[in-house]
Chains A and B, each alone.
Chain A
Amino acid sequence: MIEVKGLSKAFGEKEVLKNISAKFEAGVTSLIIGASGSGKSTLARCLVGLIDPDEGEVLYDGRDFVHMTTKQRKTVRKEIGFLFQGSALFDYLTVRENVRFPLDILTDMTAKEKEMRVDTVLERVELTDAHALYPSELSGGMKKRVGIARAISPKPKYLFCDEPNSGLDPQTSIVIDALIQEITKENEMTTLVITHDMNSVIEIGEYIMFIHVGEKWWEGTNEEIMKTDNQEILDFVNASGMMTRKR
C-alpha cells in the first residue's frame, strides 16, 4: 500500500500540488486523473522521488520515503516498477536486454534464472518473437508492452504507469489497460495509473482520484464517477464523447 499525506509542491511561485492525501491499496488498480497541467505527473514524480515535495509524506507500506536517506531510498526503489509515457526504453539495448536490465542491476540472480524470468515476462506481454529487436524497430503498442515487461521483470511491489495509452489507438489501449489490471491482480501489486483516458477510467478504475489545479477534487470508483454531481469532473468526463454516450 502507498499512503500519501499532505503532499505539497511549488515551483517558484506556482503551487503545483496542494495538500494531497490518498491511499492506494495493494491489488487495486488506482487511477490519478485530471486535465493536462493539473499536477498528475508531478504527483507521480514526487511519489517515486524524482522530485522532492516541499511538504508531506509518502509511505510505502509504512516506510516514509520522503525523509529517507539516499541509500534507504534505493532499497524502496528496487521495489518500484515505472512505465513511462514514452516507454523510455534504452535505445542501445534489444527488447530482451531491456527487460533483463533491472535484473542485472537489482538482483543477484544467476544468468539462467534471469533468462528464465525474461522469457516468462516476455511471454506474459506476448512479445516472445520480438526479443531480438531494438526499440526503434517496435510499434508504439509494442514499446508500451516492453516497458511493462521491464517494469515488472524484477517483481516489483509497486507499479506506476504514466499515461500508458498516450499515442496508442483505442484497441491497443484496451489491451494495455487489461494487461496492467491483470498483472496487478496476479502479483497483488499496488498499481497507480496516471491518465486522462476516459476509457481507462471506465475499464480499470477501481479507485480514481481526480486532481484539479493541484488539489484532490474527488475520489471514488468507476461506477461512482458516472453518478457524481461535481461540475469540474462532469466537465472533464463529458469532454469525452464516449462518456457522454455511456452516461
Chain B
Amino acid sequence: MAPFLFHLGKYFILMWRAFSRPEKFSIYRRRLLDEMVSLGLDSLGIIMVISVFMGAVITIQTAANIDSAFIPTYTIGFTTRQSTILEFSPTIMALILAGKIGSNIASEIGLMRVTEQIDALEIMGVNSSAYLILPKIVAAVLISPFLVIISMFVSIGGGYMIAMFTDIVSVANYEYGIQLDFRMYHVVYALSKSAVFAFIFTSVPSYHGYFASGGALEVGKASTRGVVQSSIIILVVNYFITQIFLI
C-alpha cells in the first residue's frame, strides 16, 4: 500500500507542477500545435482502420446472436450504433491510443531524462514538467473527442457496408435502426469520457517517462508500465463513469 501511495502522491505533485503557469505562452502554443499534429492527426489512420472493422464485426455479431423472430432486424443497426457510441469508440479507441500514444510519450520523455535533456531544461530555468507534459495532455484532451467522433461515424459506416454487401440486414432496416431513439446525451457522455481517458493515457505514461532512470532498458520498462497502468486505469474509471452517468 505504501509504494502505491508514494507513487500516487508523486504523480499528483508532478501534475501540479505541469499545470503551473508557463514561462512563455508563445513557446507553449507552438508545442501544443505540434503535439496536436503528432498525437491526433498521426493517429487518424489507425483509428479509421480499427473503427471500420469494429463496426462491421459488431453488426455481424449482433445479427448472429439474434435468433428470435420476435426481435426486429433493425435492432442490429440500433445495437451497432449504441455499442459504438457508448463504449467501443470512446473506450476501445482510448485503449488503442494508450498503446500507441502512451508508449510514445513514456519513451520520448524517458529518453530525454536519461540523456540529460530534462536537466538541460531545468538549468535554463524552464519548468520541464510543464514544458514537456502540459502540451501533450492539453493536445490529447482537445483532439481526442474529435477522433472519437470520426471513429463513431466510421464504425457505423462499417456496419452500413455489411448491410450493403451482405444479406444479414437490409440497408433500410439498418438505417432505421441507427436512427431509432437517438439521444444526444449519449454522444456528450461519450465525448466527455474520451477527454477523461485522454488525460489518463497522456499523464500516466508522462509520469513514468519523467521519472525513468538508467538506460534504454529502464526506458523500455517505463514505457510498458505507462501503457499497462493507463489501460487498467481507463477500464476502472470507465466502470465508475458508466455507473454514475448512465444508470
Residues of A within 8 A of B (CB): 48-50, 73-75, 77-78, 80, 82, 84-86, 88-91, 101-102, 104-106
- 10 closest Cβ contacts across the A-B interface? A77-B125, A88-B116, A74-B125, A88-B120, A82-B123, A84-B116, A88-B117, A78-B125, A102-B124, A48-B123
Instruction: Say if the beta carbon of B24 comes within 8 Å of chain A.
Output: yes
**What's the Cα separation between A48 and B125 when bound, in Å?**
10
Partner of B23, one of A84, A86, A101, A105: A105
Known: A77-B123, A78-B125. A88 touches B115 (CB 8 A): yes
**What's the Cα separation between A111 and B219 when bound, in Å?**
36
Known: A84-B116, A86-B115, A88-B115. A50 touches B123 (CB 8 A): yes
CB neighbours of A78 from chain B (8 A): 124-125
Q: How far is the CB of A209 from chain B (nearest CB, A)?
A: 21
* A85:B123 contact, CB within 8 angstroms: no
**What's the Cα separation between A73 and B125 when bound, in Å?**
8
Instruction: Say if the beta carbon of B126 comes within 8 Å of chain A.
Output: yes
**B109-124, CB under 8 A of A: which get 1 and which 0?**
0011001110110111
**What's the Cα separation between A85 and B117 when bound, in Å?**
11
CB neighbours of B123 from chain A (8 A): 48-50, 77, 80, 82
* B125:A82 contact, CB within 8 angstroms: no
* A106:B124 contact, CB within 8 angstroms: yes
CB neighbours of B125 from chain A (8 A): 73-75, 77-78, 105-106
**What's the Cα separation between A126 and B119 when bound, in Å?**
26
* B116:A105 contact, CB within 8 angstroms: no
Q: What count of chain B residues pass the 8 Å CB interface test? A: 16
* A50:B119 contact, CB within 8 angstroms: yes
**What's the Cα separation between A234 and B201 when bound, in Å?**
56
**What's the Cα separation between A89 and B124 when bound, in Å?**
13
Instruction: Say if the beta carbon of B27 comes within 8 Å of chain A.
Output: yes
CB neighbours of A75 from chain B (8 A): 125
Q: How far is the CB of A73 from chain B (nearest CB, A)?
A: 8
Known: A104-B27, A105-B23, A105-B24. A90 touches B124 (CB 8 A): no
Q: How far is the CB of A45 from chain B (nearest CB, A)?
A: 8
**What's the Cα separation between A50 and B120 when bound, in Å?**
10
Closest residue to B27 on the A side, CB-wise? A104
Among residues 79 to 126 in chain B, which have CB atoms less than 8 Å away from a CB atom of chain A? 111-112, 115-117, 119-120, 122-126
Closest residue to A108 on the B side, CB-wise? B24
Q: Could you list 7 A-B pairs, sorted by A, with CB under 8 Å?
A: A88-B116, A88-B120, A91-B112, A104-B26, A105-B23, A105-B27, A105-B126
**B63-93, CB under 8 A of A: which get 1 and which 0?**
0000000000000000000000000000000
Among residues 114 to 142 in chain B, which have CB atoms less than 8 Å away from a CB atom of chain A? 115-117, 119-120, 122-126
* A105:B124 contact, CB within 8 angstroms: yes
CB neighbours of B122 from chain A (8 A): 50, 77
CB neighbours of A90 from chain B (8 A): 117, 120
Closest residue to B123 on the A side, CB-wise? A82
Q: How far is the CB of A155 from chain B (nearest CB, A)?
A: 13
Q: How far is the CB of B140 from chain A (nearest CB, A)?
A: 18
Partner of B120, one of A73, A82, A104: A82
Partner of B116, one of A49, A80, A85: A85
CB neighbours of B27 from chain A (8 A): 104-105
- Known contacts A50-B122, A91-B117, A105-B27; 7 additional CB pairs below 8 A are A77-B123, A78-B125, A82-B120, A82-B123, A84-B119, A88-B119, A90-B120
* A104:B24 contact, CB within 8 angstroms: yes
Closest residue to A85 on the B side, CB-wise? B116
* B120:A84 contact, CB within 8 angstroms: yes
Closest residue to A104 on the B side, CB-wise? B27
Known: A105-B23, A105-B24, A105-B27. A86 touches B116 (CB 8 A): yes
Closest residue to A147 on the B side, CB-wise? B120
Looking at B115, B119, B125, B126, which has the most chain A CB atoms within 10 Å of its CB?
Answer: B125
**What's the Cα separation between A105 and B116 when bound, in Å?**
18
CB neighbours of A80 from chain B (8 A): 123
CB neighbours of B26 from chain A (8 A): 104
Looking at B24, B112, B116, which has the most chain A CB atoms within 10 Å of its CB?
Answer: B116
CB neighbours of B111 from chain A (8 A): 91
CB neighbours of B119 from chain A (8 A): 50, 82, 84, 88
CB neighbours of A102 from chain B (8 A): 124
Looking at B111, B112, B120, B126, which has the most chain A CB atoms within 10 Å of its CB?
Answer: B120
Closest residue to A45 on the B side, CB-wise? B119
